[in-house]
Amino acid sequence: MLKFLNILVPFLFIVGCGIKPTIDDAKLSDRNFSLEKFFDGETVAYGQFQDILGNVSRRFLVDIKGSWDGSNLILVEDFKYDDGSEEQRIWTLTKADQNRWVGSAEGVVGTAEGKTAGDMFYWAYTIDLPMPSGDRRVSFKDYMWMLSDDRVLNKAYMSKWGIPLGEVTIMFEKNL
């Protein structure tokens, strides 16, 4: 029996780490998330990274300046981490059709892909993420929910080779 529990408990832990929202989940509001409208202008974001055990290991603030030209959304993100380090990432997102987006930024491997559905945006990409110990190639699956005209909640799941590493929680606030 003990041998069975030694196998079952880690299995359930790994499966539990893999449960995530989906773009097809029931919508929480009648809002339609328009990335180009929300991120055009200035936005500030507050976030933190938690490992798979729930330990918070890094907090950050991001000042974002966005510009929409009718087909491309440029996001200049200036990160300030709680350890004093800073980083800038510049995203170019292109609206591929009514609900689908593609994007790129320095360090992103291949093309980032996303989709909107109601009040939600799903965004997936692999990136060589700058870390204090050196770049680390990881994959992100971001789920964003438009909570109000000036607030978006982002839950991002980070993995390497399909193995969960942790989660990033971010609150975006639009400067109206």
pLDDT tens series, the chain, 176 aa: 556 545 544 554 554 555 677 666 666 678 899 999 999 999 999 999 999 999 998 999 999 999 999 999 999 999 999 999 999 999 999 999 999 999 999 999 999 999 999 999 999 999 998 777 777 899 999 999 999 999 999 999 999 999 999 999 999 999 87
CATH number, domain of 78, equals 2.40.128.20
Q: Rg of the chain over CA atoms, in angstroms? A: 17
For residue 121, being part of any structural domain is answered with: yes
Q: What is the pTM of this model?
A: 0.83
Structural domain span for residue 158 = 40-174
Q: What is the dihedral of CA 107, 113, 114, 115, to 10 degrees?
A: 170
The number of domains in the chain is 1
For residue 129, being part of any structural domain is answered with: yes
